[in-house]
Amino acid sequence: MRLGLLFVLALALLAIVLAVAYLQPKTRGPETDETLLSLETDSGLNPYTAGSAVTVFGHANCAQTVRIYAEGRQVCSAEVSASDSSYACSFKAENPGSFELRAESGACSETKIIYVKAPECNPGDSRNCTLGNGCPGISICANGAWGGCSATGVVCMPGSKAGCGMPDGCGFGYEECNQCGTGYGKCSAAMK
């Protein structure tokens, strides 16, 4: 009789352990492949520049809508795709600093930190710069950051030659394009 009672107690204990394990929230891990909520950002842009767009995306299996909060303020929301459980939305990064993004979907939530820097310049602004070969160039602001230095005022291919009339009017010669391509040098007599 004691053996039977011990067997019944062992079965009851096993049933309790299995019930607790089954009722625990599912997470991503070796036990399951199901992710209830993921939160990603367009990673190539972190840190973001104030005024630029931040795209948030991921998968949600908790509810049909995902709401995204930045420092407690809702910045966007998206419907979850019925076919693959994905979502995406965008918002404007307004102020410099580090911010906690929080995705909420039903009873699930996920967080991620993003960094926003102050813009270096205003879109469309330009400034003079110098190319690696010492020639003048121009840099143009896009998305709050200065672009690369591009050559300006190029009228000819450096080193190319063009025919010209000699200053004394008594013959023809050639002029050579300068190293920056911004103009030709003096007309020199043609070699025979």
- Class of residue 37 by CB neighbours under 10 A (exposed 0-12, middle 13-18, buried 19+): buried
The backbone region for 153, taken as left when phi is positive above 0, alpha when psi lies in -120 to 50, beta otherwise, is left
Between residues 98 and 44, which one has the greater pLDDT?
98
Classify domain 32-117 at the CATH topology level. Answer: Immunoglobulin-like (2.60.40)
Q: Could you report the per-residue pLDDT of 106-137, keeping only the tens digit for each?
A: 889 999 999 998 988 988 899 999 998 899 99
* pLDDT at position 87: 93
Query: What is the CA 28 to chain-centroid distance, rounded?
Result: 26
Query: What is the CA 47 to chain-centroid distance, rounded?
Result: 8
pLDDT at 58 over 80: yes
Quick check: 78 and 7 in contact, CB under 8 A? no
**Segments making up each domain of the chain, as ranges:** 32-117, 120-152, 155-192
pLDDT interval class at 31 (50, 70, 90): very low
Q: Could you report the per-residue pLDDT of 172-187, keeping only the tens digit for each?
A: 889 999 999 999 999 8
Q: Identify the H or E element spanning 112.
A: strand 108-117
Half-sphere exposure of 31 (CA within 13 A, CB side): 6
Quick check: 136 and 153 in contact, CB under 8 A? yes
Q: For the chain, report the end-to-end CA distance as a whole number of angstroms.
A: 124
pLDDT at 46 over 90: no
pLDDT at 36 over 60: yes
Angle at 153 between CA 150 and CA 158, to 5 degrees: 85
* pLDDT at position 184: 92
